[in-house]
Structure formats: structure tokens, C-alpha cells
Amino acid sequence: MKQFIIASLVGGIILFFWQFLSWTALDLHRVTAEHTSSQESVLKCLSDNIQPGFYYLPTTPKGTSQEDNAKFMESKKGQPWAQIYYHKSFNPDMTQNMIRGMLVNVVSMFLLCWIILQCRERKFKDTVLISLTVGLIGYLTGTYTNAIWFEYPTLPDLIDALAGFGLVGVWLGWYLKS
């Protein structure tokens, strides 16, 4: 059990460290958080017109018939569209987010270690491949599937899946060997 806990904690720290580098020093995710010189007027317009929430534009109100919805969508074909995640108040303090992110990573590594420890023979190469596979499954079924529908760039997330879970796989391959 001690080995299981150490593997999960260290794996979570490795994954967290990679994510930290990816978002900060390497700035891989800049493509998903671009700057616009119009940000003040856009934020003012949003603040004056909507409540906090998640919006997809254009769309019809809840309860619109399928026929009316289809007509509306057809009329919007070729026009601009947007997704908006609107919050009333900006809080630059990342402490809680980082703690939650670290906890999620440790729990994820706990689950990954459980999968790996189900293998009777654990070869280094197999452990690395299992880890990469889990990372790719997460990327493909979450981030990439959403990007198919909402058309946003996912290369940084693919790099995170491969690099983060690759590094974790190397650690677990060495530490959890049979």
C-alpha cells in the first residue's frame, strides 16, 4: 500500500509540474487565451447584457420547436458565432485552483496506478505505454471530442497528454516494476 501511495503522490506531482510548465514557462496554451485590444468594450457589453453563465451564440431560447430551431440555424449559416464563459468578477488568485488541480492529478494517478498494478508482469515499456494510452484516452474523449464540435485548437492539450503522461509513465515504469 505504501508503494501505491508514493507512486500516486509522486505521479501527481510530476503531472502537476508538467502542467505548470506547459501553461507558464512554455506558454503552450496561449492559442486558447488570445488578447484582443477590444477587451474593455467587449467586457462592458457583456456586463451590460448577460448574467454569469455559459453561452453559445447563436442559439434559440429553451422550448423553441425543432422546426423553428432548424429555420433559425439555417438563417445563421455562414455568420459569426461564439462561445462565452462569462463571470461577473475576476479573481487572479490561483491558490484554490492549483490545490484542486494537484488533488485531481493525485486522484488520477491513484486510478492509473490501480490499472497498472492489475498487470501481473509490469515491464517498464508496458507501463509507459499504459500511461500514454490513458493520457490519450482522456485527450480524445474529452478535449478533442469537444473541439470537433466547438472548433478550438487542441495541439497544446495533445502535447500535455503525451508529455505529462509520458513523464508519469517513465516514473511509474521505474517505480512499479515487478
pTM given for the model: 0.84
- The candidate with the shortest Cα–Cα distance to 10, out of 172, 164, 174, is 172
Task: Return the pLDDT at 33.
Answer: 86
Phi-psi label, residue 83: left if phi above 0, alpha if psi -120 to 50, beta otherwise: beta
Q: Percent of the chain, pLDDT > 90?
A: 87
**Average pLDDT rounded to a whole number, residues 95-108:** 96
Q: What percent of the chain lies above the pLDDT cut of 70?
A: 99
| Residue-level pLDDT at 122 | 87
pLDDT for 167 beyond 80:
yes
What value does the mean pLDDT take over residues 98-125? 95
Dihedral angle sign, alpha carbons of residues 100, 103, 19, 143:
negative
pLDDT in tens, 39-88: 999 999 999 999 999 999 999 999 999 999 999 999 999 999 999 999 99
Amino acid identity, position 176: L
Q: In this model, does residue 178 exceed pLDDT 80? A: no
